Copies of this chain bind each other. A is one copy, B any other.
Amino acid sequence: MNVLSSPAVQPECARRGRRKEARPGELLDAALDLFVEKGFAATRVDEVAARAGVSKGTLFLYFPSKEDLFKAVVRKNIAGRFAEWDLELESYAGTSSELVQYCFQSWWDRVGSTKAAGLSRLMLSEANNFPEIAEFYRREVVAPGHQLIRRILQRGMDRGELRPLDLDHAVYLVLAPLMFLSFAQPSPSVCILEPAHFSPETYIRLQADNVLQGLCVRPT
């Protein structure tokens, strides 16, 4: 463990120590993959542990239950990032039109194009069977997400850049296109007819442009 340690044994020695702190992250990564691929119920904790290279018992050392593991996955990949996004919104200086475009684009960059996008579809199927998880997801993801969009639209109305809107329904002008793309991940087969001709980036731009035609006081 000194300067002379050969690189070959270093990892072996360090693994223990390094692992200890890396474990939760490795488990969360493995869990995200499997949850997104198979759904919550169909994902076996053994498999998550195996993919993270540990035993089943170790998983329960870090997460007291499968549900808690799932919550941690959601928190790490989505829920925990709203604080940052909210701040970003508050300090945003551009027009509402630019803000909405930015919103679409950065949702895609940070969520839609990542594995985390698959979590939305997951919730769709499992919400009925796991009410506690559904409630958690509503509180930690759905609510902040809705509020974020509402604030964007409200800001636009306040600044006179957007038409007067019924926010209870207008939020979905923004959310529906994003969620649709989210639900289509990672296997778009039942949503997108010809994935080969489909570019998410083009989709995102088109949706943003189009919704703005309707939202803005003066169509750009």
Contacts and interface: CB of A to CB of B under 8 A. Distances in A.
Interface of A: 37-39, 41-42, 120-121, 123-129, 134-135, 137-138, 142-143, 146, 166, 168-173, 175-177, 179-181, 183, 187, 189-194, 197-199, 202-203, 206-207, 209-215, 219
A176 B173 contact: no
- Counting chain B CB atoms within 10 Å of each CB, the highest count among A135, A146, A211 belongs to A211
A192 B126 CA distance: 16
A199 to B, nearest CB: 7
Copies held by the complex? 4
Contacts of A212: 214
Contact of A121 (B124, B199, B210): B124
B190 A138 contact: yes
A11 to B, nearest CB: 25
A88 B193 CA distance: 22
Given A137-B190, A142-B190, A173 B128 contact: no
